[in-house]
Structure 1
Amino acid sequence: MSTLKVALIQTNIKWLDISANLAALEQQLSDCKAVDLILLPETFATGFAMARPAARVDSDGGQILIWLKAMAERHQAVIAGSVFVTHRDKIANRFYWVWPNGETKYYDKRHLFRLGNEGDHVIAGQAREVFNINGVRILPQVCYDLRFPVWARNQNDYDVLVNVANWPAARRKIWDTLLQARAIENQAYVLGVNRIGQDGFNVQHSGGTVAYDFKGDILALVEDHCAGVLYSNLDLDALAEFKQQFPAYLDADSFSLLD
């Protein structure tokens, strides 16, 4: 396909209120039509309450994965967002991707936020995933992953980088800067999806949901502190033409990712 149509959802996540959050998202999605991909923020159903049992679902994804499958079928689009899932003796911050036919894939967050003691509760993902939607290659990442450019390095294996987050307002400048940098250095579209509002720890979130093109220019964004849906069409022909005219990726250093 030459175009990927995306819908990015910026929302105020109610702390540990799964029913209210899913209902609010359904309302935001009520007019969403003819898109290929719908993106939700990190821990969209509960907030970032990793130490609270109420924020966790069983290893099969529980009611939240059931809801994701229903939304994917209803909107005939891939829908993706992260959930805390029980995993071994800890949990995983699991970024589910669900297709309209019920097919499900996931990426587990690799980089755990040391300042918030995320590693005490969450097991780090070990696999770098690239998902394909109608021929468009997409690299999924979650929040703190954004700070680590090696994990995001484009080895000419993806077209779009996605990061979903609960990124606090106090570090908002870093969110904006790193998203733009990832687009420029990797010659790829970059989609950032962040929440708004105050969480259960009184941490404020201002949003910053945005789509960047492969030159680091903003295609569209959602107004700060407002719930909303960002729609954008990603032109893959334009990306291919740009990389042909400016093939910086051919001069990239070779490397391998080690555990």
Structure 2
Amino acid sequence: MEEKLQVALVQSEVVWENPDANFEHFSQQLDKISKAADLILLPEMFTTGFTMHPEKIGNEYGGLTLDWMRQKAIEKKAALAGSLPFYENGSHANRLFFVLPDGNYYQYDKRHTFTLAGEDKVYKAGAERLIVSYKGFKICPMICYDLRFPVWARNTVDYDVLFYVANWPKPRIAAWDTLLKARAIENMAYCIGLNRVGTDETGLEYPGHSAVYDGLGEQLVFSMDAETRYATLHKEHLETIRKQLRFLEDRDQFTLST
């Protein structure tokens, strides 16, 4: 049987610093998913928006959001991934949870905190990449600003899918479009970017531009609207292009230190 991964990209607005309203909103969005999905992607900080004041929200909402994600993953019989402000051991992290359909989960803390907005002063940076094996695919999740740093994403472990969840604003959207495609080509992997839409309380506008690229940089999905889009990823396609074009075999060998 062919190995494939069906992905739903929930490109949506986010209610500012209001987890309860976002639980309700994204529950409705998940209920509207109209196609079979193995993996559902939600935006960066999908319960709060890109806030630099997590203390206003309440430290308990990290655990409550994880509980909500686990419940929804079980209900939808699909993996669910998105990031949120998470308080632990005296500090906050911009933490992505990759929740499996049985409720078990993996986590990744954003490595590159966005200094332009002061994220580095509020959220502790992560130090380790995450690779999740799921449905026959090796998946590497990352968050927003990580996209600008190709060394961190370099495909040294033969992953199949690289994805970014984001709050990427309109003034720099050309970089988002360009870098997503570049990450796909240089890593010979599917690359997915899931951005939000709408305007937040700081006045920043988010235009979407969620997209999916294959390992040769061909665009499979692109959206600027508040909607859920779908993509089917094929393992055989990746294996074929990697056998025909052995570019990854010529990659530089290096190790990362933090």
| Structure 1 Cα separation of the partners of residues 124 and 54 of structure 2 | 16
TM-score by length of 1: 0.95
1:29 and 2:8 are equivalent in the alignment: no
Change (3 A) 1:117 1:149: same
Q: How far apart are residue 56 of structure 1 and its match? A: 5.1
1:149 and 2:150 are equivalent in the alignment: yes
**Identity over aligned pairs, percent:** 43
Q: How far apart are residue 233 of structure 1 and its match? A: 0.3
> Given residue 200 of structure 2, which amino acid in structure 1 is its aligned partner?
D
Aligned to 1:119: 120
> Given residue 251 of structure 2, which amino acid in structure 1 is its aligned partner?
A
Residue 10 of structure 1 contacts residue 209 of structure 1 at CA under 8 Å; is this kept in 2? yes
Where 1:66 maps in the other structure, the secondary structure is helix
> Runs (4+) of structure 1 moved beyond 3 Å?
54-58
Unaligned runs of 5+ in 2: none
| Structure 1 Cα separation of the partners of residues 64 and 56 of structure 2 | 12
1:113-133 CA distance string (max 9 Å, x none): 111111111101011110111
Residue 210 of structure 1 contacts residue 230 of structure 1 at CA under 8 Å; is this kept in 2? no
Aligned to 1:73: 74
Where 1:29 maps in the other structure, the secondary structure is helix
Residue 49 of structure 1 contacts residue 55 of structure 1 at CA under 8 Å; is this kept in 2? no
Query: For the aligned residues, what is the CA RMSD?
Result: 1.4
Aligned to 2:13: 12
Where 1:74 maps in the other structure, the secondary structure is helix
| Structure 1 Cα separation of the partners of residues 3 and 108 of structure 2 | 25
Q: What pairs up with 1:1-259 in 2 under 5 angstroms?
A: 2-32=3-33, 33-55=35-57, 57-58=59-60, 61-222=62-223, 224=224, 226-259=225-258
Residue 96 of structure 1 contacts residue 104 of structure 1 at CA under 8 Å; is this kept in 2? yes
> Given residue 43 of structure 2, which amino acid in structure 1 is its aligned partner?
P
TM-score by length of 2: 0.95
Farther off after superposition, 46-55 or 158-167: 46-55
Q: How far apart are residue 105 of structure 1 and its match? A: 0.9
> Given residue 48 of structure 1, which amino acid in structure 2 is its aligned partner?
F
Residue 39 of structure 1 contacts residue 79 of structure 1 at CA under 8 Å; is this kept in 2? yes
Residue 54 of structure 2 contacts residue 85 of structure 2 at CA under 8 Å; is this kept in 1? no
| Structure 1 Cα separation of the partners of residues 251 and 238 of structure 2 | 18
| Structure 2 Cα separation of the partners of residues 199 and 57 of structure 1 | 21
> Given residue 253 of structure 1, which amino acid in structure 2 is its aligned partner?
D
| Structure 1 Cα separation of the partners of residues 111 and 57 of structure 2 | 19
Q: How far apart are residue 146 of structure 1 and its match? A: 0.3
> Given residue 203 of structure 1, which amino acid in structure 2 is its aligned partner?
L
Q: How far apart are residue 89 of structure 1 and its match? A: 3.1
Change (3 A) 1:159 1:56: farther
Residue 50 of structure 1 contacts residue 56 of structure 1 at CA under 8 Å; is this kept in 2? no
Q: How far apart are residue 21 of structure 1 and its match? A: 1.6
Change (3 A) 1:135 1:55: farther
Unaligned runs of 5+ in 1: none
Number of equivalenced pairs: 256
Where 1:43 maps in the other structure, the secondary structure is coil
| Structure 1 Cα separation of the partners of residues 46 and 17 of structure 2 | 10
Q: How far apart are residue 88 of structure 1 and its match? A: 3.0
Q: How far apart are residue 87 of structure 1 and its match? A: 2.8
1:49-104 CA distance string (max 9 Å, x none): 1324234544x932211110111011100001001011333200000011121101
